[in-house]
Amino acid sequence: MSLVWKLFIKLNTIEAKCCVKEGEKTCGCVLKRSGGTKGLLEHLKRKHNISQKDPSQIVSIEEPPVAKKQKLMFDYLNQSSLEKDIAQMICCDNMTYQQVSSSEFLQTALKQKYTNKKIPKIW
């Protein structure tokens, strides 16, 4: 593994963040990586006096956090739920709850989608 990837974390396919600690602070500089590590190595040399030939110059680095995929609003809006599907049939298809809960076809379709849930009956 290149020295660069011990001192930078990949943020995405375009950028990397410097994790070299400077006293109590972390550098945190975000640089474009455009397919190579030359710019990242230059940053280490210029800002932190660290060269690839002498990795013993590293004082300390911040442990990179585990990257989580950030949820988007669409992830929440696109979540499906039994209640949401039933409400949509009632509102959009102008069905009564009685029709939804007593239709064998809808019961079967909803059971296939929501295997671990029971469709509630009114009576």
Per-residue pLDDT for 67 more than 70?
no
Residues 8 and 50 grouped into a single domain: yes
**Could you tell me the residue range of the domain that residue 17 belongs to?**
4-57
| 69 part of a folded domain | no
CA–CA gap between residue 23 and residue 25 (Å, rounded) = 6
Residue 7 near residue 44, CB atoms below 8 Å: yes
| 39 part of a folded domain | yes
Q: What's the whole-model pTM score?
A: 0.44
The reported pLDDT for the residue numbered 123 is 43
Task: State whether the Cα torsion 63-69-72-76 is positive or negative.
Answer: negative
Range in 28-32, 39-43, 84-88, 89-93 with the lowest mean pLDDT: 84-88
Place of tokens 């949401």: 84
| 65 part of a folded domain | no
Per-residue pLDDT for 96 more than 70?
yes
Place of tokens 């509630």: 120
Residues 48 and 10 grouped into a single domain: yes
- The domain total for the chain is 2
CA–CA gap between residue 27 and residue 49 (Å, rounded) = 13
CA–CA gap between residue 103 and residue 56 (Å, rounded) = 72
The reported pLDDT for the residue numbered 119 is 66
Residues 52 and 88 grouped into a single domain: no
What is the side-by-side order of every strand in the sheet holding 8-10? 8-10, 15-18, 30-32
| 120 part of a folded domain | no
pLDDT, average across residues 90-119: 81
Residues 51 and 83 grouped into a single domain: no
Beta-bridged to residue 18, according to DSSP, are 8
Token pair recorded at residue 56:
């013993």
Higher pLDDT: 76 or 71? It is 71
| 11 part of a folded domain | yes
Confidence of residue 102 (pLDDT cuts 50, 70, 90): confident
| 72 part of a folded domain | no
| 42 part of a folded domain | yes
Residue partners of 43: CB distance under 8 A and separation at least 6: 18, 29, 31
Residues 52 and 90 grouped into a single domain: no
The reported pLDDT for the residue numbered 75 is 62
The reported pLDDT for the residue numbered 30 is 92
| 63 part of a folded domain | no
Higher pLDDT: 87 or 54? It is 87
Residues 9 and 53 grouped into a single domain: yes
Say what percent of the chain tops pLDDT 90: 2
Per-residue pLDDT for 55 more than 60?
no
Residues 90 and 47 grouped into a single domain: no
